[in-house]
Amino acid sequence: MYAVSSPNLPYVVAKFGGTSVADFDAMNNCADIILANTDVRVVVLSASSGVTNLLVALASGCDDNKRESYLKQIRNIQYAIIERLNEADIIREEIDRLLENIATLSETSSLTTSEALTDELVSHGEVMSTLLFVELLRQRNTDAEWFDIRRIMRTNDNFGQAEPDTRHLHTSAIEHLQPRLHNTIVITQGFIGREEKGRTTTLGRGGSDYTAALLGEALGLQRVDIWTDVPGIYTTDPRVAPSAKRITKIAFDEAAEMATFGAKVLHPATLLPAVRCGIPVFVGSSKDPQAGGTLVCDKTENPPRFRALALRRKQTLLTLHSLKMLHARGFLAEVFTLLSRHHISVDLITTSEVSIALTLDTTGSTSTNGSLLTNALLTELSTLCRVEVEEDLALVAIIGNKLSQAKGLGKEIFGALESFNIRMISYGASSHNVCLLVPGKDAESIIQTLHRNLFEI
């Protein structure tokens, strides 16, 4: 880790997510935001909404009909933007070249898929949206420069969920990016990077938020603005509980907890760089910038006991039974060594005398390998113990402050949920959360019920 300096450049990095660059009108709203604030000098974009999902589908190998259909959908999304640009011949040629590349790579992946190929294919989404956006800004008489983030975003080769080298990013951003900021607005890609051998990598789904925060840190900027499709961070996903309320100011650790437990509005790693160098992060709606938003910063006055509810779907519970555990040592170590060898990260864990229950973190990667539970892993585990697998579960996290010191917490939470089955509870490791593993089909009702009982009284 490099020594982080405090913010020293008076500029802002603004990140616009997929829906914010979904089409020409949405892109125009982003341009309005940028032009309204002369401090915005670095702009990080996601791929236009839908494009990454289509590219991931192409990368996972599909039949010719599907392949043609996905390619056509991607072309239509990008062409709909080109058609609204004036003098679009040059940009059309560039986009056509990239579309051809996508077609060729997807042909290869219909024969053999690989994580490196997936990342290469998927990166085209961000490359296309940034090229189109630069053109749109130029047509609005704004001097903007397209910058390939892979020049500075060096990562390891963990394709699908690569980890950036922050030290390298710092020196290369200062060398290659900083000098440009005084004269122009730099438009660059979120989510993508490059490993040592020059192959493209990605930082995990939703990773553009992380890119923006990393650039804010590396360049010592004043603020990271995350423009999305909601005017801020809410007490829970407003799509799940429409009565959710906006949180106008929230501390880094509370927001990080929300992101970790599934609040998609921020990628889970986004706040790491922000905390390291103390840059505030603002979250607002690109469609309605006047609506204000949420400021994530160092501290807030009187943080409430219950701050938010987060939901993570598609959870898998593994229960491992073994009599070897009884009064023995080393069983847990054996299990964790094995899981680590299979690159599995464990999320929640509870133990009893002869069994362990654990959930696996399945979020984030663009990996085409849908399930983390490979046959090889299950076979190896079954040599140690009897294994039970339950799928279609969801993780509900109640996020708050000083929860471990609160009295009557159990009654408040579980009283509200008496009509639901709760499969596993994790509480006590952090004073910031209580986590419940519940059947996936009940997850939304549980969020709504908890929201009514903990936030609306």
160 binds Mg ion (CB under 5 A): no
3-state secondary structure of 366: coil
Write each residue from 34 to 73 as x if it is in contact with ligand ADP (CB under 6 A), else as -, in one continuous string.
------------x---------------------------
Choice from 234, 252, 261, 306 touching ligand ADP (CB under 6 A): 234
Candidates 82-90, 110-118, 140-148, 233-241; binding stretch for ligand ADP (CB under 6 A)? 233-241
**For residues 258 and 294, is the Cβ–Cβ distance under 8 A?**
no
Nearest-Å Rg of the Cα atoms of the chain is 23
Residues comprising the chain, all counted? 457
Determine whether the annotation assigns residue 234 to a binding site. Answer: yes
Write each residue from 176 to 215 as x if it is in contact with ligand ADP (CB under 6 A), else as -, in one continuous string.
------------------------------x---------
For ligand ASP, which is the closer residue by CB, 46 or 78? Answer: 46
Write each residue from 92 to 131 as x if it is in contact with ligand ADP (CB under 6 A), else as -, in one continuous string.
----------------------------------------
**Nearest 10 degrees: CA dihedral of 242, 288, 45, 236?**
-20
Choice from 67, 264, 307, 451 touching ligand ADP (CB under 6 A): 264
Candidates 30-38, 67-75, 259-267, 346-354; binding stretch for ligand ADP (CB under 6 A)? 259-267
CA distances from 271 to 122, 222, 318 (A): 24, 14, 30
For residue 54, give every residue at least 6 positions away whose Cβ sits within 8 Å of its Cβ, in sequence order, or none: 70, 73, 74
Q: Which does 293 bind (CB under 5 to 8 A by kind): ligand ADP, Mg ion, ligand ASP, none?
A: none
For ligand ASP, which is the closer residue by CB, 11 or 191? Answer: 191
* CA separation for the pair 210, 407 (Å, rounded): 37
3-state secondary structure of 122: helix
Determine whether the annotation assigns residue 331 to a binding site. Answer: no
Determine whether the annotation assigns residue 52 to a binding site. Answer: yes
Half-sphere exposure of 25 (CA within 13 A, CB side): 2
Biggest alpha carbon distance in the chain? 76
Q: Which does 221 bind (CB under 5 to 8 A by kind): ligand ASP, ligand ADP, Mg ion, none?
A: none
**For residues 228 and 285, is the Cβ–Cβ distance under 8 A?**
yes
**For residues 380 and 338, is the Cβ–Cβ distance under 8 A?**
yes
* CA separation for the pair 17, 292 (Å, rounded): 17
Q: Binders of ligand ADP: how many residues, by CB under 6 A?
A: 20
Choice from 125, 164, 206, 273 touching Mg ion (CB under 5 A): 206
Determine whether the annotation assigns residue 239 to a binding site. Answer: yes
265 binds ligand ADP (CB under 6 A): yes
262 binds Mg ion (CB under 5 A): no
CB-CB neighbours of 151 under 10 Å: 14
| Shortest Å, Cβ 216 to ligand ASP | 15
Question: Binding site for substrate, residues?
Answer: 52, 126
